[in-house]
Amino acid sequence: MKIIRSISKIKKELSRKKRKGLTIGLIPTMGYLHEGHASLVKRARQDNDLVVVSIFVNPAQFGPNEDYMEYPRNLREDAVLCKNEGVDYIFCPSVKAMYPKGYSTYVKVKGLTENLCGKFRPTHFRGVTTVVVKLFNIADPDIAYFGHKDAQQAIVIKRMAEDLNMDVRIKVMPTVRERDGLAMSSRNGYLSSDERRVAPTVYRALQLARDLIRLGDRDAANIRSEMRKMLSPVVSKIDYISIVDPKDLKEIKTIKGGVLVAVAVWIGETRLIDNIEVKA
Ligand code: PAF
């Protein structure tokens, strides 16, 4: 496994491999890797000749009062996980290399970025799509892998790849959960032990929504209100509890067909997001 920091070096190395006909799977990450990332690597390992994991805490996707500085970083442990999973390259550029002085170009997907997390983190998705385009241009992957936990991110990236005629397939893999249902996230480490104990309520609220829909409830407002009753006693703030159409991420009133049930809540000082897709 090679660890490469230089953009020009990884571009040269990967384009040489592509000319030889090898396929590349890319897993873009911000590091502090966990089993969720490992599941993406495993899938990429099955699908491709070469697997590249990028590790870059992208300042462009953090708002001014968000946790860019505190975001956990541990390249040494990330390298161990990647090596054990058979990764070929870790690409870990510096902020200066990705956004040199004078950097001025951003990619914005309209519409899909305005609801859910976009409402509460207005510059977040512009930062995500910008860095993802840069990573795609650098690694030129055949397939790129993202987790369903960040469902809105995955939908936005798919839209962008299609709109910009990019030659990359986007694969979205299922959310990996702890035994008690909490979706794996690099931010779970922020939780105190008391907060960690109640955090699985987030998934339980999603399961409640799924059960109500399966029992025939089609009234999104009622389902959201039942979820709110379950979440309110354990969270410090609710950013949103939403039931949306997975195609356009618009709120749904009456449930028909498939819906995305998504939540963003704060437990103490930690913002957690999670979602499930449910078919009526
Ligand atoms: O999901 C993440 O970890 C990040 O948003 C991504 C896709 C690596 C872009 O920085």
Please report the domains of the chain, with CATH numbers, ordered by start residue: 2-173 (3.40.50.620), 186-275 (3.30.1300.10)
Spatial distance between the Cα atoms of 133 and 231, rounded to a whole number of angstroms: 36
Tens-place pLDDT, residues 27-70: 999 999 999 999 999 999 999 999 999 999 999 999 999 999 99
Q: Can you give the pLDDT at residue 215?
A: 97
- For residue 29, report the distance from its CA to the centre of ligand 1, in Å: 5
pLDDT (0 to 100) of residue 43: 98
Structure tokens at 161: 């790849």
Contact 184, 36 (CB under 8 A): yes
Ligand 1 centroid from CA 197, angstroms: 26
Q: What is the pLDDT of residues 139-171, one digit of tens each?
A: 999 999 999 999 999 999 999 999 999 999 999
**CB 133 less than 6 A from any atom of ligand 1:** no
For ligand 1, say whether the CB of 273 is within 6 Å of any of its atoms. no
Whether the CB-CB separation of 169 and 143 falls below 8 Å is answered with yes
Distance (Å, rounded) from C-alpha 136 to C-alpha 115?
25
Q: Measured in angstroms, how far is the CA atom of residue 172 from the centroid of ligand 1?
A: 13
Question: pTM for this one?
Answer: 0.98
Cβ–Cβ contacts within 10 Å for residue 242, how many?
Answer: 24
Q: Which residues of the chain have pLDDT under 50?
A: none
CA dihedral for 129, 134, 139, 141, sign (positive or negative): positive
Is 37 among the residues known to form the active site? yes
pLDDT at 102: 98
CA of 56, closest atom in ligand 1: 10
**Residue 159 and residue 109 in contact, taking contact as beta carbons nearer than 8 Å:** yes
Q: Which pLDDT does position 210 carry in this prediction? A: 98
> What pLDDT, on a 0 to 100 scale, did the predictor assign at position 42?
98
Question: What is the structure's pLDDT at 44?
Answer: 99
128 lines ligand 1 (CB under 6 A): yes
Q: Check residue 123 and give its pLDDT.
A: 98
